[in-house]
Structure 1
Amino acid sequence: MKLNVIYGFLFCLFVEGLFSCSKDKTTEPLPCEANALFETEIKPIFLNNCTSCHNSNINYAGVVLEDYESIVDNIDHSMSEINAGTMPYDEDFTPAINSSLIDVLNDTLIDKIECWILNGMENN
């Protein structure tokens, strides 16, 4: 009887071990360039893809993305919209560019911005 209890206990431990060891999804860090240059790499992404709507004249949704200060001030919201692949859409306002950032910014550009953020958003 004791042997059956021991085998039963060991079997339960074995089964528990099988199902408790799941492979956790881990995100590998982005292969970031050490020094993404704001003026020559990051700012042009925003100027070419965002400022047709988010400039000091149009100021769509109260967001301006023309210079270092305004980009840094709005980076959390901007990255949230970029990663979601959406922009706020208002039927009374038709953006001069595509209404979806996912069509405008490819993964390489998004990764470059994220690496710049991870490296401290230097103004260089």
Structure 2
Amino acid sequence: MAQIRPVYKVMLGLLISVAAACTDDNAEDLMPQPARQQCDTSAITFSGSVVPILATNCYGCHTASIAEGGVVLDEYEGVKEEADHGHLIGVITHTPGFPPMPQGAPKLTDCDIEKIRKWLEAGAPDN
């Protein structure tokens, strides 16, 4: 049987060491990441905070002209109605017993959910 030359043993050992050292690395560890932005919930308003979230994520199905499932979210009254009986927070947080929204799309970001939650905690004002 052929023997492995000492120089090849050293090279093989180095190769194995390098490969093993890299197995715990991932792209996040190796590449510098931009600082995560904080979620500013200090001045939440319906028009300035909630409406942009709804426009981006909900208006494709829930406007006065479409009203999927009878839900209208492009008018304050419709949003307030969904908010008052807990349906709005239930669907966006994917709470069991509520249809997860937006349908067929990823869940809203934690920050967007927190903004809507803060607006609800403030009494869902039309501001």
- The TM-score normalised by the length of structure 2 is 0.57
Contact 2:92 2:107 (8 Å CA) reproduced = no
Whichever residue aligns with residue 69 of structure 1, its letter is: E
Contact 1:49 1:104 (8 Å CA) reproduced = no
Contact 1:36 1:116 (8 Å CA) reproduced = yes
Whichever residue aligns with residue 104 of structure 2, its letter is: S
1:113 lines up with 2:123 in the alignment = no
Structure 2 stretches lacking a partner, 5+ long: 1-38
Among 63, 69, 72, which residue is 2:80 paired with? 72
* Structure of greater relative contact order (alpha carbons < 8 Å, 6+ residues apart): 1
Structure with higher Rg: it is 2
CA distance in 2, matches of 1:32, 1:40: 12
Among 62, 65, 71, which residue is 1:63 paired with? 71
CA distance in 2, matches of 1:69, 1:56: 11
> Which deviations, in whole Å up to 9, do the C-alpha atoms of 1:18-41 show, x marking residues without a partner?
xxxxxxxxxxxxx98353111111
Among 50, 61, 86, which residue is 1:53 paired with? 61
Contact 2:44 2:118 (8 Å CA) reproduced = yes
1:98 Cα deviation after fit: 5.3
Give the percent of matched residue pairs that are identical in Structure 1 and Structure 2: 29
Moved over 2 A (4+): 31-35, 85-89
Contact 2:41 2:114 (8 Å CA) reproduced = no
- The TM-score normalised by the length of structure 1 is 0.58
